[in-house]
């Protein structure tokens, strides 16, 4: 209990630094870009248009809300992907600062995930616009959309902590995760309907992917006007908590050795 209290006190002491790191990460992402933060809206919109045109030929059977289906999956997976990738490099990429001044090392990981989450929340503006244009009717279940977003934040944070720790000792983790994250994207039903997997007999892969569970529940509340799938909520929540705890414990146990490998 005393250790937890010490960590909380330490966090409060450096919370201003966390704010500055988050702000710096967002500025660096759009440095030398003429459009700046507008790319947060333009990039998912352009991606949605391309995916809707390309995969609409194969999967869209007259559903005018198909672009919203793609956009919801694309936005949530994009946060998970960018959040874990930047978290992975957060400690190793801050070697010079870590060697010079003392800063709780988890600040680098958390700041990267929070900055990506803020960018993700801003990108939801384009989802609101596209949904309105395509006549997606909001329902009372829309309030439940916050649940899968919170769960996905926990999952991303846990995976990010694990990757950041491993990357200090094994730099090949960066390349391995690029392949793994690509495989995860194909099991998130971003640009194809889940019915395709049901017919092929491979639908079971969705039940092992907590990122897809968050996407599916987000679509339920935003696109379909349906309540949350509580089984998905329960399973993804358990996975999120477990992954986060593993990430915290692993990071905490190994952080004192970081300096030897940076």
181/141 Cα distance (integer angstroms): 30
Other CB atoms closer than 10 Å to residue 236's CB: what's the count?
25
Name the pTM for this structure. 0.92
Helix, strand, or coil (residue 3): helix
DSSP 8-state assignment for residue 170: -
| Both tokens assigned to 13 | 């002491």
Could you tell me where the DSSP H helices lie in the chain?
Answer: 2-13, 15-29, 39-59, 66-90, 95-100, 106-133, 146-169, 173-186, 194-200, 210-222, 230-254, 258-261
155-165: b (≥16 Cβ within 10 Å) or e: bbbbbbbbbbb
pLDDT in tens, 111-167: 999 999 999 999 999 999 999 999 999 999 999 999 999 999 999 999 999 999 999
Query: Helices 15-29 & 2-13, crossing angle to 10 degrees?
Result: 50
Residues 6+ apart with CB under 8 A from 134: 64, 65, 67, 68
- Contact between 147 and 228 under an 8 Å Cβ cutoff? The reply is yes
Name the residue ranges covered by the structural domains of the chain.
2-261
Look at residue 51 and tell me whether its pLDDT is greater than 90.
Answer: no
Q: Which residue has the tokens 């889940």?
A: 194
- Contact between 157 and 244 under an 8 Å Cβ cutoff? The reply is yes
112/26 Cα distance (integer angstroms): 9
Cα maximum dimension of the chain: 60
pLDDT in tens, 14-45: 788 889 999 988 888 777 666 667 778 888 88
Residue 224 has a pLDDT of 94
Residue 223 has a pLDDT of 94
106/39 Cα distance (integer angstroms): 28
224/222 Cα distance (integer angstroms): 6
155/233 Cα distance (integer angstroms): 13
Look at residue 76 and tell me whether its pLDDT is greater than 90.
Answer: yes
- Please state, rounded to an integer, the average pLDDT across all residues of the chain: 88
Phi-psi map region of 193: left, alpha, beta (phi>0 left; psi -120 to 50 alpha): beta
């Amino acid at each position: 209990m005393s250790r937890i209290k010490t960590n909380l006190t330490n966090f409060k002491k450096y919370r201003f630094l966390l704010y500055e790191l988050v702000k710096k990460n967002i500025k660096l992402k759009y440095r030398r870009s003429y459009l700046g933060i507008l790319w947060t809206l333009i990039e998912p919109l352009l991606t949605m248009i391309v995916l809707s045109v390309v995969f609409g030929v194969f999967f869209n059977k007259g559903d005018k809300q198909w672009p919203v289906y793609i956009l919801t999956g694309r936005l949530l997976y994009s946060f998970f992907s960018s959040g874990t990738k930047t978290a992975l490099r957060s400690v190793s990429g801050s070697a010079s600062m870590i060697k010079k001044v003392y800063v709780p090392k988890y600040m680098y990981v958390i700041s990267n995930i929070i900055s990506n989450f803020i960018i993700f929340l801003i990108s939801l503006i384009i989802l609101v616009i596209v949904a309105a244009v395509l006549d997606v009717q909001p329902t009372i279940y829309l309030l439940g959309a916050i649940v899968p977003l919170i769960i996905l934040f926990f999952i991303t944070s846990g995976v990010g902590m694990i990757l950041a720790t491993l990357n200090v000792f094994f730099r090949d983790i960066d390349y391995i995760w690029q392949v793994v994250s690509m495989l995860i994207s194909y099991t998130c039903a971003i640009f194809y309907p889940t019915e395709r997997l049901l017919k092929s007999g491979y639908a079971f892969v969705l039940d092992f992917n907590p990122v897809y569970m968050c996407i599916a529940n987000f679509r339920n509340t935003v696109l379909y006007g349906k309540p949350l799938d509580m089984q998905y909520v329960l399973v993804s929540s358990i996975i999120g908590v477990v992954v986060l705890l593993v990430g915290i414990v692993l990071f905490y146990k190994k952080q004192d050795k970081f300096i030897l490998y940076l």
